[in-house]
Amino acid sequence: MLRLGRREFGAHEPVIMAIVNRTPDSFYDQGATFRDEPALARVEQAVAEGAAIIDIGGVKAGPGEEVSAEEEARRTVGFVAEVRRRFPDVIISVDTWRASVGEAVCEAGADLLNDAWGGVDPGLAEVAARYGVGLVCTHAGGAEPRTRPHRVEYDDVMADILRVTLGLAERAVALGVPRESVLIDPGHDFGKNTRHSLEATRRLGEMVETGWPVLVSLSNKDFVGETLDKPVKERVLGTLATTAVSAWLGAQVYRVHEVAETKQVLDMVATIAGHREPAVARRGLA
């Protein structure tokens, strides 16, 4: 059972996490939701299309202009409070590695802290424990926030992913984070080259077998682009193919830009797997 905010999800229930970037320089939309009104419209659309979680980020993942903790909080805290007011039942996640920002957004109503940089600030898990919110424990290969990998090597990338994410998850629970609210994430592209991310996808079942719910953040990433030699705006089909494979292997939460398309893929895989009934079944019966 996965429990986040006011919601509970069964073991075979896929969950969509919609990305809302409060940054002027995001790699995918170049700041389309930096201003409040477009961002709130994005939240409304994502919820209508089937997203259960809204993931709000105030700093782009890649290199760029320095963003202080104060500026990150300015971009996210008030917005979290407004989303909480307008959408009381939605699960609000905040993509941050900083404990100070985590504390501020939890005060504003966040339900989940998405630590994409692998516990670089150990105080973030302590914040999650103090507020009783969820935590995403990610493998980033020891990379510093907002840096790109350079000639990284692993003897066994999945072994390293498991070592790091399980260690972070167990530490979080020991601190007091509810066990049913902790997720693990292989961290596609973070501290990895394309071959590492492909292997992490191929071996995702090993993470699922640990019993922790697995989150994957695949949407339009470089490993998809390099695999198909496609620019950012032409990676949707590759992303959806990777989503289908990840769903078949048992991942539960999907951090995405394209909500409606992802929902169709997840519904189709769940139905093939026997975890969901067809929406309509008339063929051969009329």
What are the pLDDT digits (tens) for 82-129? 999 999 999 999 999 999 999 999 999 999 999 999 999 999 999 999
Is 233 catalytic? The answer is no
Nearest to 6 by CA among 90, 108, 112, 132: 90
Indicate which residue of 221, 230, 233, 282 is catalytic: 221
- The one catalytic residue in 6, 255, 282, 283 is 255
pLDDT exceeds 90 at position 28: no
Decide if 221 is catalytic: yes
Q: Which helix (H) or strand (E) holds 3?
A: strand 2-4
In a domain, 84, yes or no: yes
Give helix 69-86 / helix 99-108 axis angle, nearest 10°: 20
What's the pLDDT tens digit per position in 240-272?
999 999 999 999 999 999 999 999 999 999 999
Residue 219 belongs to a domain: yes
284 lies in some domain: no
The CATH number linked to 133 is 3.20.20.20
Looking at residue 143, what DSSP letter applies?
P
Task: Write down the pTM of the prediction.
Answer: 0.96
Q: 71: domain range?
A: 2-7+15-273
Strands 2-4, 7-9: pairing kind: antiparallel
* Least confident stretch, 12-21, 33-42, 194-203, 229-238: 33-42
Q: Is residue 188 part of a domain?
A: yes
135, 165, 175, 170: which is closest to 3 by C-alpha?
Answer: 135
Instruction: Write out the two tokens for 217.
Output: 């953040």
The answer to the question of residue 38 being in a domain is: yes
80 contact partners, CB below 8 Å, separation of at least 6: 56, 92, 94, 105, 108, 109, 110
- If one counts the domains in the chain, the total is 1
Asked if residue 64 belongs to a domain, the reply is yes
Domain-located, residue 193: yes
Question: Six-digit token pair at 104?
Answer: 């501020």
| Interval 55-69: pLDDT, tens | 999 999 999 989 999
Q: Between 194-202 and 236-249, two packed helices, what is the crossing angle to 10 degrees?
A: 40
Q: What is the DSSP string of 156-217?
A: SHHHHHHHHHHHHHHHHHHHT--GGGEEEE--TTTT--HHHHHHHHHTHHHHHTTSS-BEEE
Residue 37 covered by a domain: yes
